[in-house]
Structures are given as C-alpha cells and as structure tokens.
A = this chain, B = another copy of it.
C-alpha cells in the first residue's frame, strides 16, 4: 500500500485517557481530598464530551475548544459528585489532567519507528495547546500536530479529514487514518483515506466493551509496533 502520511487519532488511540485519569486521581487528587471512584469520574467526564461536541457540530452552540468543553463538563460533574472546596485554580489544574494523559506503552516507540518511513501527524479533536502539551510531556514525537480546531469543525465532520490532505498537499488515498474508533475510520474513509483500526481493549477499562472495526478497514492492528510490521 502506497501511503505517505499516517494520521493518528489521539484520545484512546495514542493515550490512555481512562487509566491516566484514574492514576493521577489516586496519586494526586485523593491526597487533596478528592476521594472518589475515579473510574466512574473519568467515564462520566468522557461521556459528556460527545454531546458537547455534537451541539457545536449541529450549529446549536458556537465553537469552543475541548479545554473549554472539558471544563464545562467538569463543573457539572463537581456538582453531580458533590465535590466542594476546589477554587478556580484547582479546577483549572484538574481540567488540565487531559494535558497529562499518558501514552499507551507501545505508542512512543511505535510512532518513532513509523516516522522513519512515513510522515506522522495527529488529527484530534483536542485543541492545539492540549496536543502540544500532551505530546511534549509524553515524549510523543510527531512530524506535525493538527487539530480539528484548525478546521473549525469537529471530527467526524469531513472538513477535518480534508484539512489534513489540503495542508499536507497529499491526496486522501495516500493517507492512512489510524484510530481505535470505528466511527472515526468510517468518516475518514468517506473522503478517500485508507484506514487502520488499532485494538485498545482497555480503553474503556477492564469491564468496558472494546470497540470493534467495521468491514471496510485496510488494517487491524494490536498496537503501533504491529502497525509498523504490517506496513512493512
């Protein structure tokens, strides 16, 4: 397969959002008095994300970054989980937990290997500031960081995938979208991208239901090292 550019979804595909939130919650926030079910808290936070974006995608709400959406959801959750006593700076710090998500164990080495032969970029709904911060902290080295923010549309809107092709001057059929989410891959394929489904069985936790690929994917891989092997 002749592809030049690998386009990576980030939350869930590259970084373990659920495990990272639980780990920081237990290690840091518990000591500050937030003794919660951090798995449930992470799940509730993530669950608010899709509806918040959908309101923007449908034109019901004006553009807002994921940092802003995460913060609005957090404010609701703090009420819902009956958490009081956090000042504004502490809430901002907690909200920035999404900037500190950790890569899956294979991610850094896998991306470095793939970079030897391909141009690797992100295409995430995370805003640019978040992605730059998360990548620098996690040692994730990209050729380029792109965000839906630059298109003013959230994935899976087609404008986001097309933006990657336009900015990097590459036809869709010479790109490979890499994600652990079938909806992302289906939408990218509609504009002509090739697709690779990455199995992340623990994305939703040990009791969660892992996503499954649809029939149209070009590759099904266990991790990024496997992707490098399958791409030759």
The interface bits of chain A over 129-151 (1 if a CB of B lies within 8 angstroms of the residue's CB, else 0) are 10010011000010111000110
**Which residues on B sit within 8 Å (CB–CB) of A121?**
132
A169 within 8 A of B: yes
- Nearest-neighbour CB distance to chain B for A228, whole angstroms, equals 17
Contact, CB under 8 Å: A132 / B168: yes
Give the residue name and chain of the B residue nearest to A170 (CB).
Answer: B129
**Which residues on B sit within 8 Å (CB–CB) of A132?**
119, 121, 143-144, 168
Checking B129, B141, B143, B167 against A167 with a beta-carbon cut-off of 8 angstroms, the contacting residue is B129
Using A128-B167, A167-B128 as known contacts, say yes or no to A136 and B149 having CB atoms under 8 A apart. no
A67 within 8 A of B: yes
**Which residues on B sit within 8 Å (CB–CB) of A168?**
128-129, 132
In the complex, chain A residues 75-110 whose Cβ is within 8 Å of any chain B Cβ:
none
**Which residues on B sit within 8 Å (CB–CB) of A167?**
127-129, 149
Contact, CB under 8 Å: A128 / B144: yes
- Nearest-neighbour CB distance to chain B for A16, whole angstroms, equals 21
**Which residues on B sit within 8 Å (CB–CB) of A141?**
141
**Which residues on B sit within 8 Å (CB–CB) of A119?**
132, 136
Chain A residues packing against B (C-beta within 8 Å)? 67, 119, 121, 127-129, 132, 135-136, 141, 143-145, 149-150, 167-170
16 contacts between A and B (CB under 8 A): A67-B169, A119-B132, A127-B169, A128-B144, A128-B168, A129-B167, A129-B168, A129-B169, A132-B143, A132-B144, A132-B168, A136-B143, A141-B141, A144-B145, A149-B167, A150-B150
